[in-house]
Amino acid sequence: MVYDNGGWNAVRRAVEKEHPDGIAVSEDLTHSSFTVDPDLTAPSQVVDCYSCVIETTDAARQKLEAAATAVVHAKLDPS
């Protein structure tokens, strides 16, 4: 599962912690926001596995329940 929060908060927080009065903070130059909306489902397509984009909590619950059911009923070839 990948959560797209739109940026790297760890980078921003580290800069704010170490240099709270620095120009990177005052000018919002921490370079931790994504301006492009990446297709986070693309890597799964390369290895032919299922992926989806979930927009709501209810949809997440439904997809996770379906995934758990699929795993429980999976038949694996041990060879």
The pLDDT tens digits along the chain (79 residues) read 666 767 777 888 888 999 999 998 888 787 766 777 778 888 888 888 888 888 888 999 998 888 888 776 666 777 7
Q: Is residue 78 part of a domain?
A: no
Q: Are residues 3 and 25 in the same domain?
A: yes
Q: Are residues 32 and 43 in the same domain?
A: no
Q: Are residues 27 and 45 in the same domain?
A: no
Residue 68, SS3 per DSSP: helix
Q: Are residues 45 and 19 in the same domain?
A: no
The whole-number pLDDT of residue 1 equals: 66
Domain that holds residue 57: 39-73
Distance CA 53, CA 51 (A): 7
Q: Is residue 79 part of a domain?
A: no
Instruction: Give the C-alpha distances (Å, rounded to integers) separating 11 from 22, 25, 29.
Output: 14, 11, 11
- The number of domains in the chain is 2
Q: Are residues 32 and 63 in the same domain?
A: no
- Amino acid (one-letter) located at 72: V
